[in-house]
Structure 1
């Protein structure tokens, strides 16, 4: 596998594509943003002007798109990815979408002899830049093995978690834990600040103990400073929590904390924070308690 067509050069896709270039792949990139394509070209990638141009002759095609409608349109739509792939091509969808969408893409790919993996990632923009993403993969063991060099270039750990759609279920679980952790860290910050405690020192201690997490490691300083530049936008986390709740409904599960996390994320959107980082759940907690910008 030498040539990769990469479609979707946003906050996550752009650094992933650059890391693939650094790993020695020829990366043919496409995005609706001309500047994003130009930036990839300046990093050693190949600029393309269409989906067809990006995937022509590629051994692997990778997509990193915002939501289900984008994946369905780009991959299954008229003049989409599948119309231009030769049998045997490996299609890796790094997008976070519903399990149903991943299964539709895999089924359509199988009809054309295209191998498909759903491979949503966790680690945020920093993980994408540093090439240390966690990758949750649904598909066949043989296709997972074939994709390993790609996963090694963009991530620290990749795990095959089941058949098509399974990666999306694990990503939904991941987003539930991440959202819940942000909400709890936010309340911990407010508790310490309202009690006259040095919250910065307090979070340092928490980060080194059983309460430690990647969120505390990476975001405690920016949360204390109320700096909510994305990262990973509230709007996208809202979409992901919809996937969580839908998966719970389909599995006939009562997940009360999942509903609470979803409500917090929705509240952030209602406060006009949809384009802010999901650490802005701190602003929601402040609104709930009436303690603003402590």
Structure 2
């Protein structure tokens, strides 16, 4: 199964088998990610583009060249739709990810780094660009083992990370706090609460279970503060978190502190105490 991670960084520095370039139809270099990849990889990439794509490449299609001086082996070039220029068929954007994965399979690439295609100068709406990337990678069968979704800015990275956790939650280790989050509650407070739940699960996936429930609460609250940028216990009113807001309604991105106080944390404590009982020493973790 493919492992998908959100990465905050420079796509030209990714040590993977192949990096994906958001190219234009002429395939002769350009601005944004395209220009950065050509500059970092050197003339060899352009020479290969001229040789392999004398007539350019169609929107939604993908093809490969050498990676030149990049730390990757190949560059997979794909042409995203220009939303600002009137190309607004989402299937073309989805095709960029699907065709890139198909080309990666043809090359035998096991690791692949994508930029957020069409979300730069082509002005595809950011939330939909992220959704198209994450959902298409999720739906596309591939032999690629590792996919990185690379964002240059911290704000975009946080949004991508939230959506990656939605579709590709990381595994949790036994006897960790993260394991307590494996089963989602049947009811939520507001629409941002499932995002915080998944973010906490990922943050605490390898954190050992503490000796008592008081320390469990303190650890969860500290992790939530790091994710939200504000203490979960500092307000009774909903807390809006922009990266948890995919733009799907009035409560999108909103965290309800009272739900965590009366329901979410209580569920986790109950699971923690049940785990202690199953291990045969219920008193060992009493507060």
Give the TM-score normalised by structure 2. Answer: 0.32
Identify, as 1 or 2, the structure richer in helix: 1
Q: Which has the larger radius of gyration?
A: 2
Larger relative contact order (Cα-Cα within 8 Å, sequence gap ≥ 6): 2
Give the TM-score normalised by structure 1. Answer: 0.31
